[in-house]
Amino acid sequence: MKKSMAVLATLLLMAACAYAKNEISIQTKQTQLVLQVKDDGRLYQTYLGERIEGVSDLSVFDMPRLRRSHTLSRGFETYPVLGTEDFFEQALEIQHADGNPTSVLKYVSHEQLAREGYTETIIRLRDEVYPLSVTLHYAAYPDYDVIRQWSEIQHDEKGKVYLGRYYSSMLYFEEDSYFLTEFASNHSKEMQMLSQQLLFGKKIIDSRLGTRAAMFAQPFFEVGLGGPVREEEGTVLMGTLGWTGNFRFTFEIDNNGALRILSGINPDASRYLLARGNVFRTPDFYFTLSNRGLGEGSRRFQRWMLRHQLHMGSADRMTLLNNWENTHFDFNEQSLGALCGEAKSLGVDLFLLDDGWFGNKYPRSNDKAGLGDWEPTREKLPGGVPALVRAANEQGVEFGIWIEPEMVNPKSELAEKHPDWLLRLPERDTYYQRNQLVLDLTNPEVQDFVFGIVDHLMQENPRLKFFKWDANSPITNAYSTFEKDRQGNLFVDYVNGLYSVLQRIQQKYPQLYMMMCSGGGGRSDFEGLRYFTEFWLSDNTDPVERLFIQWGYSQFMPSKAMCAHVTNWNRQASVKFRLDVAFSCKLGFDISLKDMAASDLKYCQQAIAEYNRLKPVIFSPDLYRLVSPYDTPHCALMRVTEDRGHALLFAYDTHPRYGEAIVPTRLRGLDPQSRYRVREICLMEGQKSNLACHGKVYSGDYLMKAGLMVLGRGKLTSHIIELTKE
């Protein structure tokens, strides 16, 4: 018995050594992904998990797979294609020019290159029968524990080659149980967390809305491996696709209980005709695998976003006053001048003019007409945009402007002049969302037009500092005159057309602040934020609802990118409560100051000064979510600077229950050895803090173990507490 075990072990070791030369290890400080070329020449995933130090022979990663010998012949192919023996969903499906729907990808070569801040692994695969090549890319950011992954597909066939499916990534896990958290959405109800256990079969999260892609489902997910997703403990995979369009995440548990996660563009309605020699580059899929819960994963993504992805991630952000909720379409040059004055007296940096400033033949006095005609309405604004920028600057604030450049009202000069620029189905009724249609950004002429909107405004007004780029309709009638017989390419080419416009803008105006907006949070992806400095989370600015929406987005997004405005939504909540909720994100206002009580206005002015002072803490990626609004009628979170010397604690009571036991809130992320002075800030004039901890000094250890009584029984009550290392 002993002898046969020894023989088996030797055989296994020999097999392992044979594999070792064909292994590729992709790793960050905490995570390791090992791929291996097997004897059949194909590439397999043999390990994905916590980084294992001190292992010289990587082939030990193959060992767990031997437990299930009946799966060995199949294996976990890294990028399986339709046509091989794996009967579950494949990453790629290609129909060759002769109609053959199958491919087999074999390993050709790989290299690992040191890039700025990351290592890129490039693996070349090809079909030995058809002239088809696929290149897999993995960018591993060691210090951030984030891996970015994409693939490139290319063929050299004479006839028509169609891609039926083209995921960016496929990952495999073998655990006892899997729990998915997804983020359901709707207009004004974005980023609602839902969790469920994944059992046998498939679960899909996807979007087919095109432009307003994330209106119903957000492009983020979390999978708890071996247990539900928890904030501070357990293993969780967090993933997102950088694609401002249709996306799909497929979670499939196979016959052996292994989980396969496929992430990429939604291939539905997008059978892509790939021209010979062209490279089809999938969007980037980003993931982090945390074994210290969601909190750690969030902090990694936030740090990584600020350093590597978000446009102007290390620059400051401007506080602003927006006029949408206050005036809607009802304004003129004079009233806007007065609002710029209000922005100044409030103490914000910028005045942002929203929808309704353009259109002459069909003035934009409501949402039924004028969209597409980007000339200021002469009657309303005789001095055009230059007069407004001047008025703002003279009063000491910067000026920003709203555009919705991808869209058009049929009642507009643009639609009359260029009917072929509109996405619209022939021979079918046309469906509208908000009385508008989408322009055909697959067409380079339309791309020029859209670029020209920003370019013209910038040329005319070099002091314009900020654009709010809105997109209020999904693609409702998906047909492009330009794409002709390539209609399956429309959804993909549209997004690439949009990116090419955004690249041109960024190259020409690299310092321009831009807010990504899509009727609220209908666009919220990582790739979009390469071009935008921030995004509009939701039209819903009720502070209670915002606690949930911000809680959701904070799992992936840095506060610097999350626009939060103080408005009149939910007047039951005090201005202080509304402001205290917005204070934890990128602060703005969209409210009439004239209607505000003098004491509230004063509070806002003081809070803005505090906000400016505390930006290094507020924008720190080190976020700790302490008390969830999903579990309690309260919410608490804190941000800490990297050196752990300065922190802010936000505590909110929404609707405490009668007789509810209130427990201390235990802080996190502090230095246990240091002592911190605790001080409630942002108090109304004359208000005294009722917190027992106010003004006292505690050790970090005490604050994290014993905690502070900062939650209470008052409805819609809030506290902002500053902690400064002594």
E-state strands within 370-460: 398-403, 407-408, 437-438
Residue 190 binding ligand DGJ, by CB under 6 A: no
Residue 107 dihedral angles phi and psi, to the nearest 5°: -65, 135
Binding mask 249-268 for ligand DGJ (x = CB under 6 A): --------------------
Residue 354 binding ligand DGJ, by CB under 6 A: yes
Contact range with ligand DGJ by CB under 6 A, out of 267-275, 405-413, 438-446, 513-521:
513-521
Tokens of 443: 């067409």
Tokens of 651: 């505590």
In the complex, least distance from residue 513 CB atom to ligand DGJ, rounded to whole angstroms? 16
> With respect to ligand DGJ, which residue has the nearer C-beta, 143 or 330?
330
User: Would you say 523 and 244 are in contact if contact means Cβ atoms under 8 Å apart?
Assistant: yes
> With respect to ligand DGJ, which residue has the nearer C-beta, 107 or 569?
569
Residue 466 binding ligand DGJ, by CB under 6 A: no
Handedness of CA 226, 230, 235, 239 (dihedral sign): positive
Size of the site for ligand DGJ (CB under 6 A): 11
Q: How many CA atoms lie within 13 A of 296 on its CB side?
A: 16
- Minimal CA–CA distance to 664: which of 723, 707, 718? 707
> With respect to ligand DGJ, which residue has the nearer C-beta, 147 or 517?
517
Interacting residues of 430 by C-beta distance below 8 A, sequence separation 6+: 424, 437, 476, 477
Contact range with ligand DGJ by CB under 6 A, out of 229-237, 406-414, 500-508, 517-525:
517-525
Task: Give percent helix, percent strand, percent coil of the chain, each to the nearest 5.
Answer: 25, 30, 45
From residue 567, how far is each of 296, 366, 524, 631 by CA, in Å?
32, 21, 21, 26
Tokens of 199: 């059992």
Residue 406 binding ligand DGJ, by CB under 6 A: no
Residue 324 binding ligand DGJ, by CB under 6 A: yes
Q: Cα 264 from chain centroid? A: 14
Contact range with ligand DGJ by CB under 6 A, out of 451-459, 516-524, 607-615, 638-646:
516-524
In the complex, least distance from residue 404 CB atom to ligand DGJ, rounded to whole angstroms? 7
Pairing of strands 31-37, 43-50: antiparallel
Residue 139 binding ligand DGJ, by CB under 6 A: no
In the complex, least distance from residue 206 CB atom to ligand DGJ, rounded to whole angstroms? 23
The span from the CA of 207 to the CA of 219, in Å, is 9
- Minimal CA–CA distance to 25: which of 40, 14, 9, 37? 37
Residue 647 binding ligand DGJ, by CB under 6 A: no
In the complex, least distance from residue 471 CB atom to ligand DGJ, rounded to whole angstroms? 9
The span from the CA of 149 to the CA of 726, in Å, is 44
In the complex, least distance from residue 597 CB atom to ligand DGJ, rounded to whole angstroms? 25
Pick the binder of ligand DGJ from 23, 77, 355, 493 (CB under 6 A).
Answer: 355
In the complex, least distance from residue 372 CB atom to ligand DGJ, rounded to whole angstroms? 14
> With respect to ligand DGJ, which residue has the nearer C-beta, 472 or 559?
472
> With respect to ligand DGJ, which residue has the nearer C-beta, 61 or 324?
324
In the complex, least distance from residue 318 CB atom to ligand DGJ, rounded to whole angstroms? 17
In the complex, least distance from residue 344 CB atom to ligand DGJ, rounded to whole angstroms? 22
Residue 520 binding ligand DGJ, by CB under 6 A: yes
- Minimal CA–CA distance to 522: which of 301, 287, 210, 313? 210
Residue 692 dihedral angles phi and psi, to the nearest 5°: -65, -25
Pick the binder of ligand DGJ from 107, 167, 536, 589 (CB under 6 A).
Answer: 536
In the complex, least distance from residue 17 CB atom to ligand DGJ, rounded to whole angstroms? 60
Region class of 75: left (phi > 0), else alpha (psi between -120 and 50), else beta: left
Residue 493 binding ligand DGJ, by CB under 6 A: no
Handedness of CA 379, 382, 385, 389 (dihedral sign): negative
Binding mask 358-397 for ligand DGJ (x = CB under 6 A): ----------------------------------------
In the complex, least distance from residue 593 CB atom to ligand DGJ, rounded to whole angstroms? 19
> With respect to ligand DGJ, which residue has the nearer C-beta, 349 or 355?
355
> With respect to ligand DGJ, which residue has the nearer C-beta, 145 or 354?
354
In the complex, least distance from residue 320 CB atom to ligand DGJ, rounded to whole angstroms? 12
Residue 534 binding ligand DGJ, by CB under 6 A: no
Contact range with ligand DGJ by CB under 6 A, out of 194-202, 514-522, 601-609, 636-644:
514-522
User: Would you say 634 and 653 are in contact if contact means Cβ atoms under 8 Å apart?
Assistant: yes
Pairing of strands 534-536, 562-566: parallel
> With respect to ligand DGJ, which residue has the nearer C-beta, 535 or 698?
535
In the complex, least distance from residue 163 CB atom to ligand DGJ, rounded to whole angstroms? 34
- Minimal CA–CA distance to 23: which of 56, 70, 68, 64? 56
The amino acid present at 204, given as its one-letter code, is I
Residue 542 binding ligand DGJ, by CB under 6 A: no
Pick the binder of ligand DGJ from 516, 517, 682, 708 (CB under 6 A).
Answer: 517
E-state strands within 612-709: 623-627, 634-640, 646-653, 675-681, 697-699
Contact range with ligand DGJ by CB under 6 A, out of 277-285, 515-523, 607-615, 629-637:
515-523
Tokens of 361: 């033949």
Residue 569 binding ligand DGJ, by CB under 6 A: no
> How many residues belong to the chain?
726
Residue 105 dihedral angles phi and psi, to the nearest 5°: -100, 130
The residue with tokens 């390419």 is 489
In the complex, least distance from residue 451 CB atom to ligand DGJ, rounded to whole angstroms? 21
**Terminal alpha carbon distance of the chain:** 66
Pick the binder of ligand DGJ from 62, 539, 680, 722 (CB under 6 A).
Answer: 539
Residue 528 binding ligand DGJ, by CB under 6 A: no
Residue 524 binding ligand DGJ, by CB under 6 A: no
> With respect to ligand DGJ, which residue has the nearer C-beta, 306 or 563?
563
The span from the CA of 712 to the CA of 651, in Å, is 9
Listed in sequence order, the DSSP H helices in 464-574 are 490-508, 543-553
> With respect to ligand DGJ, which residue has the nearer C-beta, 355 or 542?
355
Pick the binder of ligand DGJ from 168, 288, 302, 472 (CB under 6 A).
Answer: 472
From residue 57, how far is each of 15, 18, 61, 64, 336 by CA, in Å?
11, 10, 9, 15, 69
Residue 470 binding ligand DGJ, by CB under 6 A: yes
Give 616: exposed, middle or buried? Use CB within 10 Å, 0-12, 13-18, 19+.
exposed
In the complex, least distance from residue 322 CB atom to ligand DGJ, rounded to whole angstroms? 7
In the complex, least distance from residue 128 CB atom to ligand DGJ, rounded to whole angstroms? 52
In the complex, least distance from residue 357 CB atom to ligand DGJ, rounded to whole angstroms? 11
Interacting residues of 345 by C-beta distance below 8 A, sequence separation 6+: 593, 605
**DSSP string across 204-255:** EEE---GGGTTSSEEEEEEEEESS---SSSSEEEEEEEE-SS-EEEEEEE-T
In the complex, least distance from residue 370 CB atom to ligand DGJ, rounded to whole angstroms? 11
The span from the CA of 422 to the CA of 416, in Å, is 10
> With respect to ligand DGJ, which residue has the nearer C-beta, 435 or 481?
435
Binding mask 661-700 for ligand DGJ (x = CB under 6 A): ----------------------------------------
Residue nearest to ligand DGJ (CB): 355
Site of interaction with ligand DGJ (CB under 6 A)? 324, 354-355, 402, 470, 472, 517, 519-520, 536, 539
